[in-house]
Structure 1
């Protein structure tokens, strides 16, 4: 970018390198380093210098960029804070006294910089500020006992009223233009540390926003976190703390700024007249129209897809609720699951409760073969014996009320819900609790099992009918289909776990093309048998003893195998 002189102050070295790589030449300046101060055993003060790097001809620069967020931190080095030459008899220094441990000269330097910026802006210039929170700092000097106070925003005259406020939720006002499009592109990577109260003017017997101050970003409460103001050939742009400042500035300086202040970017706008309609090349109007239509179609497709994603999240949110919620939210989520697997009459008894009635089971499922009653809990631990068996008392009462019907009782728990579901103890029931459940003809189950059961049904590993049948079992519900025959766990695995060695009985027989159910940590997969070998020879089916089975997929170590059926 030639013809436009740019001075960058306190911009991160990575951003400087990025801009230079994009052929944007600039002066890499500094408004001072933040110094960490340590004192000797008998020292109570340190002399400091600001370590500023500014161009002597700052008045000739067209664009001045100031990043108030980045500070170069360094430890105190006495040589850096000692003047080598001095033409006067006075030796001025900043003085830091105990217990001060940080020396930050930026506010003082920026206040001094104001004297240079005022005439620069009057003659035509652009100032770009990446805003941090405002900060007021007191300074002391060795040749004066007077305290001097400065703040980070003292370099700008007529700055709107402002206050420190931190956040990351920002939105772009609904306005057209290249600058607003650029803000939309980077709003997701921006944080704000300050908000502004833009001035108003009195017009038509009421106060309205001053049109000279244009908001660029608003917080969730519609506070202004970014704005710009332009007067004649000068402008000041206040941006939030944008993560990729190099990429942002490249687009801003090359594509946006010349639109607002063309005189500052003569090389960028000198041939702009060629873009007028009368100089358009053949087919340009059609191509631009087609381009615009593609953009509109893409935006519509993107919006439609976002709505589809939102609808899908709402439809299946019950799956996440089963793993995270407790109370009524958990009950409602499990009810939705039961309806999804095909149970027709699933109700929440609480919704039918009359005043004074004692609360009992959380879910009732009316079926052709009887009544399924379920107790639901969401807890941060595993279940106690009494929690597992509570449903038995309710079952006995239901059996007396329904003497001609079978009553199936289950306890479903969302256990250790403060942990990721995959990291929880599974199964979370003791051997004693599982045996008691079998003895009492009741079932135990976790919501993590239901979550994995949903995935297994979606993949076609288990049918909804098979899933419903599991709720007529007792003990720890494993959701293994009733027709599945257990083969055990492989004693060895070879060739990327596609070949398994098992010790097998006479029955069941495993043949080529049989479908095998794989169960590992409550998750379900299927595999197809490609070949059967005994003593390293291919055979049509398995027999008693050591058998090798080759599958069309890898088998996880520790998985249990079940024979489903041949294709």
Structure 2
């Protein structure tokens, strides 16, 4: 074959769209393979089927053979003296493995280098009785992957669509090409790989369990690509034949007229200026990768800090992990000897779980119920800890007990999408009457950052646990209304709401919450009304000069000195 006609590509059983895509640039021939037919099974009725095939007799001459094992209904029609006979009519007859045997026998009849692409969509093992024109019968056993015995290919049925490329540089160009065509693709078979350095295989794709669903295997002079059910087969093959395989060493002679000219940027074929710029680009990429790697390591260390782990747990966890996170918060704000009594419960001895956490502070014994739930709390869930406190009071009448209910509500939702207050009015009123405190973990999360920013104190947070009903950790804050920001002079024009029962002095601080929920505490440098300085302001609009402005500021408060 002249170089102009190479590679000769045979498409067996592929859709016509594949032939249409490849024909403009390649020497392509297409033929169908036998499929299957459904019959009414009958043990008393024999069946004879004329066997014809379109398999080309010169498959051994092709450089590339593509086989789609997806079964179609129907047999090849033609004149043939060969029959397939059954003593009893089966419910299904599948002739694809017989055609596969014919094709592979032809391909493996020579030592010519050939690429074989197999889209693995079916796997059947069949036994056939063939009868020739003279009436002589012979029995054959064949399967969809009837490669020569010494090469073997024994897939197992496994259906799914979650696939990923195998890590490693070996076969990287093919892996990267395959990865582009994974959307809407699926697999129906998995393959056992050979192990060891001398393995003739390169795994390309695996499923989530690590089972191989695509690989390349050398079989003597043949290179076989086993692919799953790729949605865009035409696109994949065109990409491989035009852009990938021609530049891979062992495929060079198969594609004498194709390639992406990757060699054109070799230093031997470019100017010195181009060479130097490519080296500069390479060095910059390496520098960037080193910087990025360093930043990722730094982020990993920050991300894994105990306080950050616990704060995330307060937003998403339930059970022991949530209890542990709340215990950490209580200790952070200064409570001591916080106990998780569930750890010491002996269920086998008949002991029961009661409160999740307890501690004593200034003579008060706090009992806490900590719950992580997908919805909001029921009345019974809110009240359970009060029952435990009453039983404990009855058993120890000299002690003072305080019940507190803490919930991580709608924990599968982002906290900003949850109810601002996860308790209804009746639940809050019931808690007030029962002298029970109630709060939620997203509020504790926010209070941590307010404490870190100096907006409220740990002491104030501890005192808040004495409250009844919905715990208000922010009693020391007084909200201001925004009027204007004078960026050039670092002045916020804010308004003390009508009826506000507080004053602003230079000794106070301004607390700002930004649009990412972060808190900032600013020092007051001066107070002005109508450009006149004041030491104290009780009402109305006031210009407050601060030490800095906050980007994305959305809420403003006074923190009293």
Normalised by the length of structure 2, the TM-score is: 0.60
Do the aligned partners of 1:131 and 1:194 also contact (CA within 8 Å) in 2? yes
Do the aligned partners of 1:371 and 1:408 also contact (CA within 8 Å) in 2? yes
Do the aligned partners of 1:165 and 1:194 also contact (CA within 8 Å) in 2? yes
Do the aligned partners of 2:177 and 2:236 also contact (CA within 8 Å) in 1? no
Q: Deviations over 1:428-469 (max 9, x none)?
A: 655443222102221123445556767888999988777666
C-alpha deviation, 1:264, in angstroms: 0.8
User: Taking structure 1 as reference, are residues 343 and 104 closer, same or farther at Cα in structure 2, changes over 3 Å only?
Assistant: farther
Is residue 151 of structure 1 aligned with residue 130 of structure 2?
Answer: no
Matched ranges for 1:374-413 at <5 A: 374-378=368-372, 383=377, 385-392=379-386, 395=389, 397=392, 408-413=402-407
Aligned to 1:62: 63
Do the aligned partners of 1:4 and 1:62 also contact (CA within 8 Å) in 2? yes
Q: Deviations over 1:165-223 (max 9, x none)?
A: 4564766364xx562354267569586544444568xxxxxxx6644444455677776
Q: Deviations over 1:312-354 (max 9, x none)?
A: 2786454564455433222113234445677676553456889
Do the aligned partners of 1:68 and 1:129 also contact (CA within 8 Å) in 2? yes
Is residue 163 of structure 1 aligned with residue 156 of structure 2?
Answer: yes
Aligned to 1:113: 103
Matched ranges for 1:304-323 at <5 A: 305=296, 308=299, 312=303, 316-318=308-310, 321-322=313-314
Do the aligned partners of 2:243 and 2:260 also contact (CA within 8 Å) in 1? no
Is residue 5 of structure 1 aligned with residue 8 of structure 2?
Answer: yes
Is residue 264 of structure 1 aligned with residue 257 of structure 2?
Answer: no
Aligned to 1:127: 116
- Residues in 1 aligned to 2:142 and 2:351: alpha-carbon distance in whole angstroms: 71
Do the aligned partners of 1:126 and 1:236 also contact (CA within 8 Å) in 2? yes
Is residue 327 of structure 1 aligned with residue 319 of structure 2?
Answer: yes
- Residues in 2 aligned to 1:29 and 1:18: alpha-carbon distance in whole angstroms: 12
Is residue 473 of structure 1 aligned with residue 487 of structure 2?
Answer: no
Matched ranges for 1:467-506 at <5 A: 470-477=464-471, 481-483=474-476
Do the aligned partners of 2:217 and 2:225 also contact (CA within 8 Å) in 1? yes
- Residues in 2 aligned to 1:270 and 1:431: alpha-carbon distance in whole angstroms: 71
User: Taking structure 1 as reference, are residues 486 and 297 closer, same or farther at Cα in structure 2, changes over 3 Å only?
Assistant: closer
Aligned to 2:282: 291
Q: Once structures 1 and 2 are overlaid, which stretch shifts more, 259-268 or 335-344? A: 335-344
Q: Deviations over 1:341-374 (max 9, x none)?
A: 7767655345688999986532246667966441
C-alpha deviation, 1:104, in angstroms: 6.3
In structure 1, stretches of 5+ residues that fail to align are 201-207, 489-502, 527-540, 545-551
C-alpha deviation, 1:375, in angstroms: 1.4
User: Taking structure 1 as reference, are residues 294 and 136 closer, same or farther at Cα in structure 2, changes over 3 Å only?
Assistant: same
Is residue 436 of structure 1 aligned with residue 430 of structure 2?
Answer: yes
Residue 127 of structure 1 aligns to a residue whose secondary structure is strand
Normalised by the length of structure 1, the TM-score is: 0.60
- Residues in 1 aligned to 2:32 and 2:457: alpha-carbon distance in whole angstroms: 69
C-alpha deviation, 1:265, in angstroms: 1.8
Residue 171 of structure 2 aligns to a residue whose secondary structure is helix
- Residues in 2 aligned to 1:13 and 1:340: alpha-carbon distance in whole angstroms: 69
- Residues in 1 aligned to 2:29 and 2:558: alpha-carbon distance in whole angstroms: 71
Residue 111 of structure 1 aligns to a residue whose secondary structure is helix
- Residues in 1 aligned to 2:403 and 2:361: alpha-carbon distance in whole angstroms: 13
- Residues in 1 aligned to 2:297 and 2:21: alpha-carbon distance in whole angstroms: 33
C-alpha deviation, 1:132, in angstroms: 4.1
Q: Deviations over 1:23-57 (max 9, x none)?
A: 85464746559789799xxxx99999999987786
Do the aligned partners of 2:371 and 2:406 also contact (CA within 8 Å) in 1? yes
Matching residue within 193, 213, 229 for 2:217: 229
User: Taking structure 1 as reference, are residues 356 and 268 closer, same or farther at Cα in structure 2, changes over 3 Å only?
Assistant: same
Aligned to 1:537: none
- Residues in 1 aligned to 2:309 and 2:140: alpha-carbon distance in whole angstroms: 59
Residue 465 of structure 2 aligns to a residue whose secondary structure is helix
Residue 266 of structure 1 aligns to a residue whose secondary structure is coil
Do the aligned partners of 2:159 and 2:187 also contact (CA within 8 Å) in 1? yes
- Residues in 1 aligned to 2:170 and 2:551: alpha-carbon distance in whole angstroms: 53
C-alpha deviation, 1:266, in angstroms: 1.8
Residue 473 of structure 1 aligns to a residue whose secondary structure is coil
User: Taking structure 1 as reference, are residues 89 and 211 closer, same or farther at Cα in structure 2, changes over 3 Å only?
Assistant: closer
- Residues in 1 aligned to 2:332 and 2:34: alpha-carbon distance in whole angstroms: 63
- Residues in 2 aligned to 1:487 and 1:286: alpha-carbon distance in whole angstroms: 57
- Computed over aligned residues only, the root mean square deviation of the Cα atoms, in angstroms, reads 6.4
Do the aligned partners of 1:377 and 1:413 also contact (CA within 8 Å) in 2? yes
Give the paired residue count: 491
